Amino acid sequence: MAERVYPRLVAARLRGQASYRASFALLCVVSALSQLVELAVILIVFTRVSALGGFSVDEVILMYALAGVAFGIADMVAGQLDELPTYIRTGTFDVLLLRPLSTLAQVMTSDLHLRKVGRTVASAAALVYALAHNDIAWSPLTAPLVVVAPLSGAVIFSAVWVISCAVCFWLVDGQELANSVTYGSGAFTSYPATVYGPWLRRFFAFVVPGAFVAYYPALALLGRPDPLGGHALLGWASPLVAAVTAVVAGLVWRFAVRHYRGTGS
């Protein structure tokens, strides 16, 4: 039964958004621009330097684009979790618990912001540019990475979103802390991991497996060895990492919901 409910829910949300055409179009453009502002930052910095963390401008754009597509999809799918504190505070979450559907899926589909597609489209355009302007080591092994890496990245980001937002079950004001992990890892992955100091790298590349979103796949596409000494096969590890983080996220969510007691409002 549940399989039919979700497409219907999502379709209803999408129809609702499409009814305000002008507002929707403007918000799509803003979403795309917000991604392009980050590109502008990269380009401005590169008017002053020729390499960042040992990577050229086109190589950095490749990582930025892979991260952007992944983050854009995750933001569309999981971004709604940012509303979780409101659901908890107002008691709306209790209603979700009563329905015979998964709470996580209900929160995720409670609103699907199609306007966020702007970010994904802009990133995909940057990805096409980066693939054309870099010396890609094309082979039957690397070609699938172009699709597999952003999709795995989207799963990784979504899982990170679930885990960090689950903090709000304990801390009602935890949203900002969760933001530093979700949006923070979004910012982290847009640049090569070599840019960051050891502590930031340990946290955002491996505790939050951000390095598997863009950095390692980009190295594999470029056919470059990892300056940090990682194994060459790590570029293909993203789907595996994505699967593991998704399972962890599922477990954390279940544990958090069991802990939930309502705010009594």
Partner 1 sequence: MRAYARLALAGFRRYSTYRQAMLAGMATNVVFGMLRLAVLTAAVSQGPIAGYDLAAASTYTWLGQGLMAFVVLWGDKQLAERIRSGDVVVDLYRPWHLQLALFAEDVGRGAHALAVRFLPPVAFGALFFPFRWPEPAALPAFAVSLVLALTTSFGMRFLLNATTFWLLDNRGLHALYTLSTWLLCGLTVPLAFFPDRARAVLWLTPFPAMLQAPVDVFLSLAPQWTTLAHQAFWAVAVMAAGHLVLHRAVRKVVVQGG
Q: Kindly determine how many residues on this chain lie close enough to bind partner 1 according to the rule CB under 8 A.
A: 36
Among 15, 19, 21, 37, contact with partner 1 (rule: CB under 8 A): 37
187 binds partner 1 (CB under 8 A): yes
Helix (H, G, I), strand (E, B) or coil at 225: coil
- For residue 52, what are the β-bridge partners? 55
Rg of the chain (C-alpha set): 19
Task: Please report, in angstroms and rounded to a whole number, the separation of the first and last CA atoms in the chain.
Answer: 32
Chain residues 204-233 in contact with partner 1, contact rule CB under 8 A: 204
Which is nearer to partner 1, 162 or 193 (by Cβ)?
193
176 binds partner 1 (CB under 8 A): yes
Neighbours of 245 (CB within 10 A): 22
Give least dist CB 40 to partner 1, A: 6
Which is nearer to partner 1, 71 or 188 (by Cβ)?
188
Interatomic CA distance for residues 231 and 248, integer angstroms: 24
56 binds partner 1 (CB under 8 A): no
Among 11, 45, 247, 251, contact with partner 1 (rule: CB under 8 A): 45
Helices (H) and strands (E) counted in the chain, each on its own, are 12, 0
Which is nearer to partner 1, 33 or 143 (by Cβ)?
33
Answer for the pair 63, 214: CB distance below 8 angstroms, yes or no: yes
Of 238, 246, 182, 187, the residue nearest 213 (C-alpha)? 238
Among 1, 44, 132, 233, contact with partner 1 (rule: CB under 8 A): 44
Interatomic CA distance for residues 208 and 249, integer angstroms: 12
Q: Near partner 1 by CB under 8 A, which window of 50-58, 122-130, 156-164, 234-242? A: 50-58
Start-end of H helices in 79-172: 84-90, 92-98, 103-109, 117-133, 145-165
Chain residues 146-175 in contact with partner 1, contact rule CB under 8 A: 171, 173-175
Which is nearer to partner 1, 27 or 121 (by Cβ)?
27
Residues in the chain: 265
Among 12, 26, 143, 240, contact with partner 1 (rule: CB under 8 A): 26
Give least dist CB 138 to partner 1, A: 29
Neighbours of 162 (CB within 10 A): 24
Binding site for partner 1 (CB under 8 A): 23, 26-27, 30, 33-34, 37, 40-41, 44-45, 47-49, 51-53, 171, 173-177, 179-180, 183-184, 187-188, 191, 194-197, 200, 204
